[in-house]
A and B are shown apart, each in its own frame.
Chain A
Amino acid sequence: MGNYLDATAADQKKMLDQIGVSSIDQLYSMVPEQLLVDKLVLPEGLSELEVRAAIEELAAKNLIFKNIFRGAGSYDHYIPAIVSQVTAKEEFVTAYTPYQAEISQGILQAIFEYQTMICELTGMDVANASAYDGASAAAEAAAMCRDKKRRCVCIAATCHPDTIETLKTYCFAADCELTIIPATDGLTDAAALSAVGEDTACLIVQQPNFYGLIEDASSLAEIIHQKGGKFVISCNPIALGILATPAEVGADIAVGEGQPLGMPLSFGGPYLGFMACKTSFARSLPGRIVGETTDANGNRAFVLTLQAREQHIKREKAASSICSNQALCALTAAVYLSAMGSGGLREAAEQSAAKAHYLAAQLCAIEGFNLVYGGEFFNEFAATTPVAADILLLKLEKEGILGGYPLDYHTILWCATEKNSKYDIDHLIAVIKKAVSRCS
Chain B
Amino acid sequence: MKNKGLTKVDLIFETVDVRKVIKKAFEMTSDEIIQQVLESGLKGRGGAGFPTGLKWKYTAAEKDPEKYIVCNADEGEPGTFKDREILDKVAPKVYAGMAIAGKAMGAKKGFIYLRGEYRFLLPQLYVELHKFHKMIAEIGYDFSIEYRMGSGAYICGEESALFESIEGRRGEPRNKPPYPTTSGLFSKPTSINNVETLVTAMMIIEKGPLEYVKLGTKDSRGSKVFSISGDTPLPGIFELELGMTVQQFVNEFGDGDAKAVQVGGASGFCVPRKKFADTIIGFEGVPTGGSMKLFNSSRSMYNVLHNYLDFFAEESCGQCTPCRVGCQQLLKGIEKVKKGEAKSTYLNELIKLADTMKVASKCGLGQSVGNAFKSIVENFREEVIY
A and B: interacting chains = no
